[in-house]
Structure 1
Amino acid sequence: MKAYHVNGHAGAGRLVRVDVRKPEPGNGEVRIRVEAASLNYRDLIILDRAGQDGLDGRIPLSDGAGVVDAVGPDVVQWQVGDRVAASFFRDWVSGPFKAQYVASALGGSTMDGMLAEHVVLPVTAVVAVPEHLTSIEAATLPCAAVTAWHGLVTRGGMGQGDTLLVQGTGGVALFGLQFATALGARAIVISSSDEKLARAKALGAAILINYRTTPDWDVALMTATDGQGASHILELGGPGTYDRSMRSVASGGKIVQIGVLTGFGPKPDLARLQWENADIIGVTVGSVDHFTAMNRFLIDHAIHPIVDRVFGFDEAPEAFAHLRSGSHFGKIVVKL
């Protein structure tokens, strides 16, 4: 079968197309004929660190969807022809997170990912694709959508009457915006692009702030909310945005900590959390149960993921380059 490997010695792209043996499912496993895989910012970090982190030969990308084309001898949960998507953490099926689940993240330090024609996974690590979604749409869900769902809804309790701050217009951000709109929450979107802000408004954003022309976006947010702030914040930026997020959170609010888009660096002064009785919720994607619950919500509200652009399998390096450019609005997908 055809697949891609990351290679720390392959130049700037560090992505190499290879021919490898098609895997066969064993007991308790299914084989997926992958129809689409999507990219996350995490995949750029892995690609850039391939050489130093010993990831040479790893199949990248955590997110993908397709069709079951073979099952192990004892498998009854799934049948050939079932449409499924892979869960980000192979081993986190339900219950609270445990440290040992980190090693089971697809496309990471120890597990191959989804940028291959066929993938074998345990029966417990896949979920059914909602009937109203294509495989291209379903491939966008495992990381970005589950992260937004787990942080904002499962643990954040976001609902009608709440106010959500969304940073940017990438995958997690737009899923958060779509969930907020469906739940009856007010959404505030910040972006450096007026064109992207206009598209976010069409998806239901109520307050739009261009942080390039309004660098003190936290001040603008407090003004727009009559000094109340945001009850929920999708903190996607990291060191470059955290202080302003701290100044934007409402009393009793929740900062859902996810991103490192501005890199890694000093941590902010957290004293305001105490004064405002606010919380930080640390989130790294979610479980199979979170994924399944979110899919029911997508079905109930007829939500379709926002796909920015679809690349062919031969164009996978170009898909990574497009993600790196930061020009995307929503998810970037590779079609197999």
Structure 2
Amino acid sequence: MRIFVTRGSGGLDNLRLEEVPAPGPIGPGQIRVAMRAASLNYRDLLWMRGEFGPPGPDGLIPCSDGAGEVIETSPGTNRFKAGDRVALIFNPDWIGGPFPLTAGGMGRGSLMLPGTMQDEIVLHEGEAVHIPDHLSYAEAAAFPCAGVTAWNALTEARPLLPGMTVVTQGGGGVSLFALQFAKLFGARVIMTSSSPERCQRLKAMGADAVIDYRADPDWHLRVKELTGGVGADLTLDIGGAETVDRSLAATRVGGRLALIGLISGWPNAASALFASGVDITPIKVGSRDDYENINRAVAFHGLRPHISASFCFEELPDALTELKASRHLGKIVLTF
């Protein structure tokens, strides 16, 4: 079967397409999945660049998100049967309850777990969920990291109620999912983006207001204006080090700041965090139970993710180049 793998010092220059034997016989409780689609997240680039350490001797198979068809089950499995369409969960150790401190918390496509860029995967049946009937494999592959992250950012710490204001940044997968989910809850959504053209596209996708952060770098002041001087009830920080201070300033006293992304690096702790009166919630994607809750809502509303670009399996390097360029609005997917 085919795999993509990066070896040695890691990095995109060391990414190779290889032929390897398919996984061996499945064990108790396991299923074999023929992968049909995957999607990209910014964290995939960080792992491939070696920012969390170089690949081990077996290399790193990239990408955390994927969907496929069950083609074999072991005796005694009861969640799936051959022919079922499934998506893999991000953290195979987190079924429900509090976040577990295990290797699975780093997700697939990390030094701890091989990713989804391979033709077949053998896994425990508890590590997958059924795909809503109306979604294609490519659409389903968009949800495991970005979709679950966005849902938990909106709902994990406290309920998101109609009429509340949510702020999110850019046009990546988490932000677009947050827009879609927040509108389901009846919330107002303010987004930031990098050009008038992108701002118009985000408004056409349903954003109530969009701020061009290049033209208006103090965008947190504009959020305050749009909320009558109060600030947002919830702000999703995607950017990390270069955006967290403005995200904090855009949030009302008693509101919540969800820390999600590291696009510009790790944010530094600051006295402002403690003086702001804002609740800080780091988001660690979510559990299988969370994912299944999302799928019920997605199926009921017929919701589909925003797909920005689609590539074939062999075009992973081109897809990663597109991700690095930050031209996308929504998810970049690969079909197998």
Tell me if 1:28 matches 2:29: yes
Q: Could you tell me whether the CA contact under 8 Å between 1:8 and 1:49 is conserved in 2?
A: no
* TM-score (normalised: structure 2): 0.95
State the alpha-carbon separation in 1 of the partners of residues 262 and 180 from structure 2: 22
Shift of 1:269: 3.0
Q: Could you tell me whether the CA contact under 8 Å between 1:13 and 1:317 is conserved in 2?
A: no
State the alpha-carbon separation in 2 of the partners of residues 149 and 29 from structure 1: 28
Equivalent residue, structure 2, for 1:194: 196
Q: Could you tell me whether the CA contact under 8 Å between 1:239 and 1:267 is conserved in 2?
A: no
Name the amino acid aligned to 1:251. Answer: V
Question: What secondary structure is seen at the aligned counterpart in 2 of 1:143?
Answer: helix
Cα-to-partner distance string for 1:209-260 (whole Å, 9 max, x where unaligned): 0000001101111111110111011111111011111111012211011111
1:135–1:253 distance in 2 versus 1, CA, 3 Å: same
Name the amino acid aligned to 2:13. Answer: G
Which deviates further from its counterpart, 159-168 or 7-16? 7-16
Which deviates further from its counterpart, 150-159 or 300-309? 150-159
Please give the residue correspondences for 1:1-336 in structure 2 after superposition, counting only pairs within 5 Å. 1-9=1-9, 12-23=12-23, 24-49=25-50, 52-55=53-56, 57-102=59-104, 105-271=107-273, 274-276=275-277, 278-336=278-336
Which deviates further from its counterpart, 137-146 or 195-204? 195-204
Which deviates further from its counterpart, 171-180 or 24-33? 24-33
Question: What secondary structure is seen at the aligned counterpart in 2 of 1:13?
Answer: helix
Q: Could you tell me whether the CA contact under 8 Å between 2:90 and 2:108 is conserved in 1?
A: yes
1:260–1:25 distance in 2 versus 1, CA, 3 Å: same
Q: Could you tell me whether the CA contact under 8 Å between 1:60 and 1:113 is conserved in 2?
A: yes
Shift of 1:147: 0.5
Shift of 1:155: 2.5
Q: Could you tell me whether the CA contact under 8 Å between 2:60 and 2:114 is conserved in 1?
A: yes
State the alpha-carbon separation in 1 of the partners of residues 78 and 169 from structure 2: 43
Cα-to-partner distance string for 1:158-196 (whole Å, 9 max, x where unaligned): 121110001101000100011111111000010002222
State the alpha-carbon separation in 2 of the partners of residues 12 and 42 from structure 1: 14
Name the amino acid aligned to 2:27. Answer: G
Shift of 1:293: 0.3
Cα-to-partner distance string for 1:32-64 (whole Å, 9 max, x where unaligned): 111000010110001110794234522111100
Cα-to-partner distance string for 1:102-124 (whole Å, 9 max, x where unaligned): 45621111111110111111111
State the alpha-carbon separation in 2 of the partners of residues 236 and 156 from structure 1: 20
Q: Could you tell me whether the CA contact under 8 Å between 1:14 and 1:47 is conserved in 2?
A: no
Q: Could you tell me whether the CA contact under 8 Å between 2:4 and 2:117 is conserved in 1?
A: yes
* TM-score (normalised: structure 1): 0.95
1:106–1:319 distance in 2 versus 1, CA, 3 Å: same
Q: Please, which runs of 5 or more residues in structure 2 have no aligned partner?
A: none
State the alpha-carbon separation in 2 of the partners of residues 146 and 323 from structure 1: 20
Cα-to-partner distance string for 1:241-286 (whole Å, 9 max, x where unaligned): 1111111101221101111111235333335x5453x201111111
Shift of 1:76: 2.3
State the alpha-carbon separation in 1 of the partners of residues 253 and 266 from structure 2: 27
Number of aligned residue pairs: 334
Q: Could you tell me whether the CA contact under 8 Å between 2:308 and 2:328 is conserved in 1?
A: yes
State the alpha-carbon separation in 2 of the partners of residues 158 and 11 from structure 1: 39
State the alpha-carbon separation in 2 of the partners of residues 323 and 66 from structure 1: 23
User: Identity over aligned residues, as a percent?
Assistant: 38
